[in-house]
Structure 1
Amino acid sequence: MKRVIGLMSGTSLDGIDAALIETDGMAEIRFGPGETVSYSADDRAVLQAAVDAALAWGFDGEAPDFAAAEAVLTARHAELVGKVVAAAGLSAKDIDLVGFHGQTVLHRAPKEGQMGRTCQIGDGQALADAIGIPVIHDFRSEDVAKGGQGAPLATLYHAALAARGDLDSPLAVLNLGGVANVTWLSGGDDPIAFDTGPANGLIDSWCERHTGQSYDEGGRLAAAGQVDKGALDRLMDHPFFSLAPPKSLDRWDFTLAPVDGLSLEDGAATLTSFTANTVADAIWKLGHPERVLVTGGGRHNPTLMAMLQTAIGKPVEPVETVGWRGDLIEAEAFAWLAARVDQGLPTSLPSTTGVSMPVSGGRRANPVA
């Protein structure tokens, strides 16, 4: 068993989640304390500038200088590791590993005859030196190098949690972050996973553009609006939805152009319906789940959850109903994956990312004494 802290900073750039677990990287998982910290406005501006620079770069030519953003990431992640260690009543020497996802600034899915590319910034060595604990980082590159999508990566952790809880299958686990993805668990078959489309990303961008707020709090704007069928049809017409899984997205692969000109409330309603309908379509193409569990920030949006339930045609439940920690599950996943990398165990499979063979992704950075 290893004591591992996992760290996750999502594409919404709202903050960092951290969680301590004790695990063997397989079925044994014991939960320790977790913490979440929000980025300051200044930190978020630095990270957004890195994303903007990455989008302008587009993997064409020399990569931008991400040093300023990586300095922010190192400082804030190190501070949060310290908080989790203190909350557990431990010291750094008591922690075996840290799983550091970094910050995704650009992702390009593979296409026919063309390898994918992915870029998560974050200096694993600098973080290891700052906290005095070995860091596993760069989880996605090896998957992409072997023909995979590089995402989603939490799938095998979802499978481990489901097996631990002896949950009925088929089971669909939805992660509603900036992008939505689904994990499909069916008996003894290998799990299936893929991105289904935008989740909160477009809704957040719409709210930020029109209100200055970073999200639709409580789904109130969407609840007050009407879905515009023409705009919804334009959104649904994106070529991504005709692709067979496995498939993945960059948060910025979709734009707000189809809802331009709508009122604030109608735009929010239409984008929320778009997420619900694309998730439902993805699930029904997989089969008829016994249960649908939802993690990620989207589960806090009651309007989105209601639209999901209507679109899927059966109850959708936050993962807390089965004892999972929805606000920490992604951080826990990268702790669990770090333990697997440490042992050379797979972190992705052909059925989860389309990789050519099971891959143990991630690199180790040991602190310099």
Structure 2
Amino acid sequence: MAESRWTEVGAVEELKRKPLQEVMCGKTAIALSYRDGAFAAISGVCNHVGGPLGEGRPDGDYIVCPWHYWKFHYKTGQGESGYDRDQVPAYETKIENGRLYIDLSSATKRKKQPHAPHPLARPVVRKPGPIRIVGISTTAMTADHPRFSTSDTLLEAALNHAQQIGLEAQCIKLRDLSFRACEGFYSKAAPACTWPCSITQMDPTDQLDRVYEAIVHWADVILVSTPIRWGNASSLYFKMVERMNCIQNQETIAKKHLLKNKVAAFIIMGGQDNVQGVAGQLMTFWAEVGCQFPQFPFIAHSRGWSAEDMERNVSEVQNSRELREGAQELVARAAEMAKLMVTGQIPDHPLAPGGRKAHQLDSEPTG
């Protein structure tokens, strides 16, 4: 039997003020509970991705991890019903002279129940075949009363042309998907923002998995169409890309490049101006997740600030041969760039962290 390693935690009167808290015994994080006049101690590190259990919340006899809501019994460390093969270490406690002690040598064994990986977590391997284009429509409209969409019209023209020249193409309309907004797991801690997305892993009804599947595992070209809304891309576009922080985050915390050999291009339409501003927003995001761009990576059309006559804007797009040809040439340029990338004609350079998100500052200690 291991020799006892009783470690002093602190004054009982101080510690019992909180029903749950994180305490450190040397380098060991402990989730310390106080209820019914007694202390209980389990490991402060969740089995899932290491969330801080001591910063969670009590839920009956369980402690809920603040990151992804896994539950462990506050005394035994055992997972909730159905997940009871998961268990975090539990520790003995004692009180002497008004001070609380935890015996680190008494830790029970950590047990991890096997969990099947999410299908999106599989290795990213491009299957043989022609260049593949996914068009993503980000315009919103009333489902029962659809309207003419200028951005959808040119996206459709581009995808039809892609198929005519022998490429594979599919269209995803965000308005047809039911998916939750980003819930800020990254704001809790960088490792809490996981790949696949934490929401996708926890909620099987969330349909953004279709977008993840297309852009990570299927497509070579990501063609995004958006209207201009008050000088910005659409609200659906931002709802989607906020959920893509999980892709960018893999670059910084896992050095995993999910969007390798991908090309992004854009169709920007609107009755309002600020085409350049919207293009800058789009290009900045997709560049940061690792995409390349073809020469002249977007096409656009706008009636400008003064012309409050959207019916004329619709008519112009409906009757414009040049805009359709522009959409066709855009998808062709993007496909040619993608072909160079997937055939290895553009070298793959290792990324230096300096100047990129979460790089080490020279003024910070490196250990």
Instruction: Give your verdict on TM over 0.5.
Output: no
Bigger fraction of residues in helix: 1
Q: Which has the larger radius of gyration?
A: 2
TM-score by length of 1: 0.24
